[in-house]
């Protein structure tokens, strides 16, 4: 029978411990099972299968696995009541797999001495009948000789351990230190006594190839034969805390962390390493530098005297909390460790397997460990690739995915990367792979005009592009255009939000067709019907792929500065891309001040634009009518500037009268239409209606007159007198008479019916068609549709030709009428 996984069994044990703790440390066996059944809602048919004794399999398995916890002294059972011991309270934060390993060790130790002990409770012995004991013995478990030991460690011990090389970060993981703000929050959590999670250390005398610097600081090498604690889980917290205390580099900057007595919280400030003197302010007198909390007691007491009496208690509490804070640590220790031989491949295999038990080692770290074992320094190669600051926002996993699709026939799942990749081939092809990735990135910069990879919606999109450029380094214009459409369709359809590897593989197969110069269709679903509403309702969020796709469009438009129409440097100005570098067209403070009914949409991505922070500051909380008016005094090209921000008209887009609702509707529609244009989904007439609406109306009128002349001439070449309504003929005659007063020499021209048609108005076309419905019914089918579309066309034409106000309904209906007539007339030969 299929077994229940160790991970799942660990969940049983963790659920049990949590329930006992939540019930004050004790609960009856009956109530425990009842509560566990409520929590474990996703029990499958294997777990619910009933044994001879009538108990479901999961309960039998669970009871058997608690033997280890009982014999280890973590749980006590007395007369059908389960108790959590003091020792048990120390394991409440262990992960499920850690609990199964802990239980197994205690069980094996008990079993070894079982003959000398009293027999276990009969129900547990019965349970054992139904369990394959090999499952708990785990004979083939690669970590069967590993012991887990929960413990605590102080802040001082961590700092000293890192200093002396006794606590090391593995070289397989990417160097990473949290942001200054995240470190500030971590320090506040420690000050308040909040738990920050357990560390997991592998304690061993074995040596990994090398250990890293932290924030640019060189670390000591431990003496040969000394046990080293390799950090398996907690790397970011440890490196961040160490960097903060030691003043190491964080995010390419240097910071000073301190406790601000005036607010009772931690804070930080930037340090200028190039300045010879450090400026001090009055506020500094109430700031306690973080490093002061790690001096000896007498030195700290002397330092406390520099502060007013009212802060003495806080200062004392601060010191004690950091000195006494107990970090939870779980040591993984190899029993009977063989220290005679430092076999790199064996060491890296052990390291990888230990991490797999907690599922903490990334695919990159596993691959780097595997490469180390075969003598290839993948860590160094990745470090070289990421030396460029612009690339550091990309994930290392993405680089391995790109390598895998190239080396493993378009496949990039974890198995393909870790098992199928030949290290010798990876080594020999590395430079070519990196070259292909760089060409893919150049394509994004040159063709999509992405100047900053921080707003790339999915870095996975680099993988198929790299595959393409590995095979073809010099694509044709047609191939580039198809890649261009693929990018926008993939982003707009949110293609790489899930099942990424399978979609990458499918896309690579399609790119094979493109490489073979075949026609390729990328049929990804995009909901255009609700697109405008989605745009308006989508608040700006820098991790949202849809927002980032819109930002890519804003970048593609090559936006200009409102102030002077100069180019906006999206590389330099947005290296620290944040809300301060993105402008709200309608400033939030302005919308709040006027209490705009649509102010809840103030953070809509439609209300966002690129603008240098200096311009953003200058705008402040002014409404668009004010600041655009001011900028237009010096920027005589303000209309052209706004077009680079997808705003066609100050008036039509609501900027002139600060109409926020109108702005949202118009700009959302403009964004939608621009996306469709980039994808080749709009006809020429739709594009003309968007950019120069007068042109398609003029062309439609010419086409309509030619059509009427052709259809009426079929019936009678001299149709004017026969089929044109009398009121239209009279109106045209008056217009011709007026024309002849200035051009009497053209009187013969106006004897031709087609020339007379040039004097018709829009609604005259409708009247002629309906008057001669027997001729036109087969073409237009519905008199109602004719009347509706001519009415819409007439309103639309008058608003454009006479520069009249036009609401969204008139605009939409008018555009629909132009397209409707255009399609019908294009279907007729004349």
Write the burial class of residue 610 (CB in 10 Å: 0-12 exposed, 13-18 middle, 19+ buried).
buried
Specify which residues 28 forms β-bridges with.
81
- How far apart CA 256 and CA 269 sit, in angstroms, is 5
Does the pLDDT of residue 330 top 70, yes or no? Answer: yes
pLDDT band of residue 339 (cuts 50, 70, 90) is: low
Question: pLDDT-derived band of residue 366, with 50, 70 and 90 as boundaries?
Answer: confident
For residue 248, how far is the Cα from the chain centroid? 29
CB-based burial label for 548 (10 Å; 0-12, 13-18, 19+): buried
Nearest one of 733, 699, 452, 402 to 574, comparing CA atoms: 452
pLDDT, tens only, 722-762: 999 999 999 999 999 998 888 888 888 888 999 999 999 99
Measure the CA–CA gap between 460 and 476, rounded to whole angstroms. Answer: 23
First to last CA, the chain: 78
* Averaged pLDDT, 119-134: 41
Quote the CA–CA distance of 712 and 719 in Å, as a whole number.
6
Q: Phi-psi region for residue 343, left (φ > 0), alpha (ψ -120 to 50) or beta?
A: beta
Phi first, then psi, for residue 221 (nearest 5°) are -100, 130
pLDDT of residue 665: 94
Question: Does residue 429 register a pLDDT over 90?
Answer: yes
Instruction: Decide if 423 contacts 370 (C-beta within 8 A).
Output: yes
Q: What six digits make up the tokens of 246?
A: 């030691």
> Where are the strands (E) in 613-742, listed by range?
none
Burial of 582 (0-12, 13-18, 19+ CB in 10 A): buried
Confidence of residue 360 (pLDDT cuts 50, 70, 90): low
138 or 97, higher pLDDT:
97
For residues 291 and 247, the answer to whether their CB atoms sit within 8 Å is yes
Phi, psi of 75 (to 5 degrees): -130, 145
Please state, in angstroms and rounded to a whole number, the distance separating the CA atoms of residues 599 and 418.
Answer: 51
Separation of alpha carbons 12 and 684, rounded Å: 64
pLDDT digits (tens, 9 = 90+) for 459-468: 999 999 999 9
Task: Say which range, 26-30, 203-207, 729-733, has the weakest mean pLDDT.
Answer: 203-207
Q: Give the pLDDT score at 687.
A: 78
Mean pLDDT of 393-418: 95
Measured CA to CA in angstroms, residue 74 lies from 37, 77, 86, 90, 92 at distances of 22, 10, 7, 9, 10
Given a cut of 80, whether residue 58 has pLDDT beyond it is: yes
pLDDT of 14: 94
Residue 730 C-alpha from the chain's centroid:
68
Residue 604 confidence class, pLDDT cut points 50, 70, 90: very high
Dist. CA 178–CA 242, nearest whole Å: 11
469-495 pLDDT per residue, tens: 999 999 999 999 999 999 999 999 999
Mean pLDDT of 418-438: 96
Q: pLDDT at position 149, please?
A: 81
Q: Encode pLDDT of 618-636 as tens digits.
A: 999 999 999 999 999 999 9
Q: Beta-carbon neighbour count of residue 592 at 10 Å?
A: 12
Contacts of 704 (CB under 8 A, 6+ apart): 765, 821, 825
DSSP-derived 3-state class of residue 268:
strand
For the chain, the average pLDDT equals 86
Longest dimension (CA), the chain: 130
């Amino acid at each position: 029978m299929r077994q229940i996984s160790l991970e799942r069994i660990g969940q049983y044990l963790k659920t049990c411990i949590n329930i006992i703790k939540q019930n004050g440390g004790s609960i009856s066996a009956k109530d425990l099972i009842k509560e566990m059944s409520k929590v474990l809602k996703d029990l499958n048919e294997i777990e619910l299968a009933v044994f001879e004794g009538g108990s479901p399999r999961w309960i039998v398995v669970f009871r058997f696995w608690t033997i280890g916890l009982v014999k280890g002294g973590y749980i006590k059972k007395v007369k059908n009541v389960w108790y959590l011991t003091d020792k048990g309270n120390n394991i409440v934060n262990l992960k499920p797999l850690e609990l199964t390993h802990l239980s197994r060790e205690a069980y094996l130790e008990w079993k070894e001495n079982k003959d000398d002990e009293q027999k276990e409770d009969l129900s547990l012995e019965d349970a054992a009948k139904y369990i394959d004991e090999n499952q708990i013995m785990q004979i083939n478990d690669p970590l069967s000789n590993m012991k887990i030991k929960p413990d605590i460690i102080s802040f001082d011990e961590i700092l000293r351990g890192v200093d002396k090389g006794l606590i090391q970060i593995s070289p397989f993981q990417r160097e990473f230190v949290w942001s200054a703000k995240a470190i500030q929050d971590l320090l506040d959590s420690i000050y308040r006594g909040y738990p920050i999670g357990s560390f997991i250390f592998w304690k061993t005398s074995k040596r990994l190839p090398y250990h890293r610097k932290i924030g640019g600081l060189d670390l000591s090498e431990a003496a040969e034969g000394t046990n080293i604690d390799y950090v398996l889980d907690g790397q970011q917290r440890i490196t961040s805390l160490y960097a903060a205390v030691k003043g190491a580099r964080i995010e390419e900057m240097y910071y000073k962390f301190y406790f601000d007595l005036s607010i009772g919280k931690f804070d930080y400030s930037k340090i200028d390493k190039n300045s010879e003197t450090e400026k001090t302010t009055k506020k500094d007198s109430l700031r306690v530098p973080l490093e002061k909390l790690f001096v000896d007691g007498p030195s700290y007491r002397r330092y406390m005297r520099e502060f007013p009496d009212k802060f003495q208690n806080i200062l004392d509490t601060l010191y004690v909390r950091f000195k006494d804070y107990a970090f939870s640590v779980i040591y993984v220790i190899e029993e009977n460790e063989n220290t005679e031989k430092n076999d790199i491949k064996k060491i890296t295999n052990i390291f990888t397997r230990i991490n797999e038990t907690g599922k903490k080692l990334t695919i990159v770290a596993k691959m780097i460990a595997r490469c180390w074992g075969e003598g290839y320094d993948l860590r160094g190669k990745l470090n070289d690739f990421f030396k460029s600051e612009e690339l550091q926002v990309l994930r290392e996993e993405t680089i391995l995915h790109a390598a895998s699709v190239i080396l493993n026939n378009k496949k990039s799942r974890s198995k393909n990367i870790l098992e199928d990749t030949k290290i010798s081939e990876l080594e020999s092809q590395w430079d070519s792979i990196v070259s292909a990735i760089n060409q893919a990135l150049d394509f994004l910069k040159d063709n999509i005009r992405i100047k900053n990879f921080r707003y790339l919606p999915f870095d996975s999109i680099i993988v198929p592009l790299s595959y393409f450029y590995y095979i073809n380094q010099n694509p044709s214009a047609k191939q580039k255009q198809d890649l261009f459409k693929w990018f926008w369709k993939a982003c707009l359809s949110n293609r790489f939000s899930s099942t990424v590897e399978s979609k990458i593989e499918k896309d690579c197969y399609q790119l094979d067709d493109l490489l073979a110069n075949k026609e390729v269709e990328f049929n990804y679903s995009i909901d255009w019907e609700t697109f405008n509403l989605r745009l308006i309702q989508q608040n700006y969020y820098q991790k949202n792929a849809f927002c980032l796709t819109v930002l890519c469009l804003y970048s593609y438009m090559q936006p200009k500065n409102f102030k002077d129409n100069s180019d906006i440097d999206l590389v330099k100005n947005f290296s620290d891309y944040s809300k301060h570098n993105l402008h709200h067209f309608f400033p939030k403070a302005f919308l709040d001040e006027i209490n705009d009914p649509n102010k809840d949409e103030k953070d809509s991505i439609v209300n966002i634009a690129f603008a240098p922070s200096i311009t953003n500051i200058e705008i402040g909380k002014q409404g668009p009518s004010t600041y655009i008016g001011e900028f237009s005094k010096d920027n005589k090209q303000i209309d052209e500037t706004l077009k680079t921000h997808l705003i066609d008209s100050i008036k039509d887009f609501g900027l002139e009268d600060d109409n926020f609702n109108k702005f949202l509707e118009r700009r959302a529609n403009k964004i939608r239409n621009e996306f469709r244009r980039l994808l080749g989904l709009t006809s020429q007439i739709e594009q003309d209606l968007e950019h120069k609406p007068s042109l398609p109306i003029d062309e439609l009128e010419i086409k309509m007159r030619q059509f009427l002349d052709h259809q009426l001439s079929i019936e009678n070449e001299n149709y004017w007198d026969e089929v044109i309504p009398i009121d239209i003929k009279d109106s045209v005659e008056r217009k011709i008479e007026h024309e002849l007063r200035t051009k009497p020499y053209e009187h013969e021209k106006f004897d031709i019916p087609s020339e007379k048609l040039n004097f018709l108005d829009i609604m005259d076309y409708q009247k002629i068609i309906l008057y001669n419905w027997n001729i036109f019914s087969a073409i237009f089918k519905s008199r109602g549709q004719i009347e509706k579309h001519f009415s819409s066309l007439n309103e639309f034409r008058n608003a454009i030709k006479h520069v009249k106000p036009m609401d969204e309904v008139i605009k939409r209906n008018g555009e629909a009428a132009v397209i409707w007539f255009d399609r019908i007339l294009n279907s007729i030969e004349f």
